[in-house]
Amino acid sequence: MAASEAAGSRFARVDEEEINRIIEDAIPESTKRQTSWSIAIFREANRQSEAKASSKKLPKLSITKFDEKYENWLPFWNKFKPEIDSTDLSPVTQFAYLKELVEPRIRADIDGLPLTTEGYSRAKAILSGEYGKTSEIVNAYAQNILELPVVKDANPNEVDKFYKTLLYNVQSLKTLGKLERVNGMTRSVIDKLPGIKSDIVRGHREGWKDWGLAQLVKEMKVWRDINNPCNEES
């Protein structure tokens, strides 16, 4: 009886850490390695699962709706494609986003299509075929340049607005590789700037008559930086 009590007393003094050590020592090394690998694999799989779930979270609608203007198609599509079309969202979800991001009168062109992968592909083909026509887009940018207002004096704010509008359309045409098509309107654009024309052509003698729109933008930037130095390039 005394021996039994002594044994019980000795066992009672063995703490939890010691028990864990004893159990661990009793486990074969091969089993330990296999268990360690299993835990590592489980953790990695769990991490990948969480990352995948996170990547599939629906993005916020931060894209400006396409409004049927040809010149706005490329800015719209160049934002929609990486944020929605090229993600791992399902085609059905992407199609739903596309419908939400076009104006109602445009949505009517694709509303009759099935909400499926095939329907989404057809919708993209319809919209790009209608609004992604290079000739129409080039014409829209050219029209924007032709419609620039006459700036009669050297008011820096008015010149700045003119410059930014011209810059946007010239850059867009250059991106399309179509700027050369509209360089013939450069003289008429310069004539819209009677208030600063003498300043921007000064020092160029007759050479300014051969400018293209890109050169005009460059000379306007020089004038703008001198006369409105606090206005940073946008």
pLDDT tens column, 181-199: 999 999 999 999 999 999 9
User: To 10 degrees, the CA torsion angle through 66, 72, 76, 78?
Assistant: 160
To the question of pTM greater than 0.75 for the whole model, the response is no
**Residue 153: pLDDT over 80:** yes
d(CA 177, CA 213) in angstroms, rounded, equals: 13
d(CA 95, CA 89) in angstroms, rounded, equals: 10
Crossing angle for the helix pair 213-227 and 156-176, to the nearest 10 degrees:
150
73 touches 66 (CB < 8 A)? yes
Mean pLDDT score of the chain, rounded to an integer?
82
Q: How confident is the model at residue 81 (pLDDT cuts 50, 70, 90)?
A: very high
The per-residue pLDDT for 227 is 87
Instruction: Return the top range by mean pLDDT from 12-21, 32-41, 180-189, 205-214.
Output: 180-189
Q: Which amino acid is at 176?
A: L
**Domain residue limits, the chain:** 33-44+63-132, 135-227
Proportion of the chain above pLDDT 90, given as a percent: 66
37-75 pLDDT tens trace = 444 544 555 565 555 544 556 556 588 999 999 999 999
User: Closest Cα to residue 231, out of 164, 170, 152?
Assistant: 164
**Residue 234: pLDDT over 80:** no
